[in-house]
Amino acid sequence: MKRTNNFRNVCAAAAILSIATLGLGATANAAVAPAAGVVSAVEAAPDYPQIDQDTASLTVHKHLQPEAAENSAGEQLNPAPTNKPVSGVEFTIQKIDGIDLKTNEGWQKAQALSKKFAEQGEAALTAEALKADGLSLGATDAKSTENGIVTFADKKLGLYLVKETNTADATVDDAKATIVSSKPFLVTLPMTHQKASDSEANNKTWNYDVHVYPKNSIVEVKKSVNDANKNVGDKVTYTLNTDVPVASPKGKALSKYVVMDKLSTHVSVTSEDVTVALKKVNAPGAAELSDPDDEFKLVGGDYNVVVVGSDVKVEFTPAGLAKLGKAAQLPNTYKVQTVITPTLKSVPVADEASGKVAGEIKNKAYLAPSSEYSDNMDLLPDPDTNKPVKELTPAEKDNGVKYPAPASDPVVTRLASIQINKFEANSPEGKLEGATFKLAYCPVKGEGQEATPEPTFLTVNDQSEWTTGDNGLVDIAGLHVNNFANNADETNNNVQGQTYCLYETKSPAGYELLTEPIKVQLNQAGEIRVLDVPNVKHNAGFQLPLTGANGLLTLGLAGAALAGGGALILVGRRRKAQD
């Protein structure tokens, strides 16, 4: 009976030491339960030999936010999680040397260390801290997941630290994915069967093939732009939708959440142009977002908006991080929606040396979803040239930052310009000063309308009319191209708002007004479309008959002469009669 009592003592210690206490329950909560110890009840300890193997295996399953109905307790889940597997994620394991799980003392040491780990995190596992308890960390074994699975086989029995050490190469469905790492955890090899497929084995046999399912979140950064018919001087709207990852431990505050948008220097922005809200996804994959319950609505104290130049940063405070962490546990998926409405300021000029493209204002949004990701905006590439991301700083690396912030796809606004060249018809050298123009989108007669509506004239960069100088020229700079809007090609260039109409509202002195507007299509970013606009002289250059004052004077003199001649004839006739 002495042998049986020893075994029961080992099992009793193992029962106290659960996976939750070791840390796995806090980070892999969808898979391993807080009660997932080596054995669940001392009374269930069977009367048979103790641990009889020297090695065991650990299999880590990597899925996107597995939502298992119950925890695995170290068993392989059947059926397997339906969430997509994640490949390319590196895990490392290290044995805690000095703990012999074949003894009561070993399990008691594991229990004591697990308590420290739960309270202090990895600070409890430094060389100095472990040495005080007669322990040390063993060699590191690193492997990466393939189709969501990585197995560490033939490992010596003991207590192991498991860490997700690199997610930079993570892929889902062969596409690169940004993963928020699960927290480090401790796991024992072996465990007592708790939920084996053979229920007779539960609490009676050792599990030397341990499976764990650390919970992970994939985060996406999506950015859109609404810039249709927006010209320099107008506000465009950038909408950033960023995923809220599941915190570890579940329901706790996130460690960090920073939304960043490195805008082009060709826009101007202030903090008043930035609004932030937490939005609920109505259904998986749905684009439509709705407001959350009042409990999860963001208030001013939940985040800070920092604008430096054209850099916009939204930093969540501890209160906001707690709110995000809690919201992420609800059945609906949540996203942070950041809306930025900067003003288009100028048209980019091509620069071959820097790579700047003429007429294109483009940028990306970024997200630091946890403390592993950098929020240093100085490291982000110039949006106008897309220079490579700079290396992390030594200070960041010392503070546990491992990755640059993941980015959205770029969005682009394309601008062009018009130059009016005004001259005398049939005489291009005769430049005309003083011709005034206004610009509108060409009005189109709608269905049921009897007449084409009047144009609505545009204001571009605070200017609503343009007058030619003594060189006959005037520029209208910063017009949105007609064939590309809201970051997509426009397939129909003949609808309202897709063609510019240039109206001459005042002609040069001595010249006729244009009778029709000039239609203009701008289809190339950065182009300066030169419009040759001849003017015809007044009355098409023909001289009118002289009906002014000089003409009347001539006729008056002629009349006087005729009258005088008549008087002389009359006097002559009278003299002749007297003779």
Write the pLDDT tens digit of every residue in 389-439: 788 899 998 888 888 888 999 999 999 999 999 999 999 899 999 999 999
Distance in angstroms (rounded) separating the CA atoms of residues 22 and 411: 45
**Per-residue pLDDT for 571 more than 50?**
no
**Residue 40: inside a domain:** yes
The pTM (predicted TM-score) of the whole model is 0.76
Q: Same structural domain for residues 237 and 379? A: yes
Per-residue model confidence (pLDDT) at position 465: 97
How large is the average pLDDT for residues 500-519? Answer: 95
Q: Same structural domain for residues 200 and 342? A: no
Q: Same structural domain for residues 66 and 185? A: yes
Per-residue model confidence (pLDDT) at position 60: 94
The tally of domains found in the chain comes to 3
Q: Same structural domain for residues 151 and 242? A: no
Query: Which residues form the domain of 349?
Result: 220-409
Per-residue model confidence (pLDDT) at position 345: 96
Q: Same structural domain for residues 198 and 289? A: no
Per-residue model confidence (pLDDT) at position 251: 62
**Residue 554: inside a domain:** no
Per-residue model confidence (pLDDT) at position 552: 44
What stretches of 41-135 adopt beta strand conformation (E)? 55-61, 63-64, 90-97
Per-residue model confidence (pLDDT) at position 158: 94
Q: Same structural domain for residues 125 and 14? A: yes
**Residue 362: inside a domain:** yes
Out of 178, 194, 218, a domain closes at: 218
**Residue 578: inside a domain:** no
**Residue 480: inside a domain:** yes
Tell which wins on pLDDT, 562 or 498: 498
Tell which wins on pLDDT, 115 or 236: 236
Per-residue model confidence (pLDDT) at position 54: 93
Per-residue pLDDT reduced to its tens digit, 370-379:
998 999 999 9
Q: Same structural domain for residues 21 and 169? A: yes
How large is the average pLDDT for residues 19-48? Answer: 36
Per-residue model confidence (pLDDT) at position 517: 96
**Residue 103: inside a domain:** yes
Q: Which residues of 189-221 are buried (b: 16+ CB within 10 A; e: fewer)?
A: bbbbbbbbeeeebbbbebbbbbbbbbbbbbbeb
CATH code for position 536: 2.60.40.10
Per-residue model confidence (pLDDT) at position 389: 78
Q: Same structural domain for residues 207 and 275? A: no
- The CA distances from residue 423 to 276, 470, 519, 530, in Å, are 53, 10, 18, 13
CATH code for position 343: 2.60.40.740
* Contacting residues for 216 by C-beta, under 8 A, at least 6 apart: 62, 63, 64, 65, 86, 89, 179, 180, 181, 182
**Per-residue pLDDT for 489 more than 70?**
yes
Tell which wins on pLDDT, 524 or 48: 524
Out of 361, 390, 409, a domain closes at: 409
Query: Three-class SS of residue 475?
Result: strand
Q: Same structural domain for residues 66 and 213? A: yes
**Residue 577: inside a domain:** no
Q: Same structural domain for residues 37 and 147? A: yes
- The CA distances from residue 532 to 15, 75, 424, 438, 529, in Å, are 89, 79, 10, 16, 10
Q: Of 24-33, 250-259, 461-470, which range is least confident?
A: 24-33
Which pLDDT band holds residue 74 (cuts at 50, 70, 90)? confident
Q: Same structural domain for residues 153 and 11? A: yes
Q: Same structural domain for residues 51 and 75? A: yes
Tell which wins on pLDDT, 284 or 227: 227
How large is the average pLDDT for residues 72-86? Answer: 84
What token pair was written down for 188? 């024992």
**Residue 525: inside a domain:** yes
Per-residue model confidence (pLDDT) at position 20: 39
How large is the average pLDDT for residues 536-547? Answer: 68
Per-residue pLDDT reduced to its tens digit, 273-314:
999 999 988 766 666 788 888 888 999 899 999 999 999 999
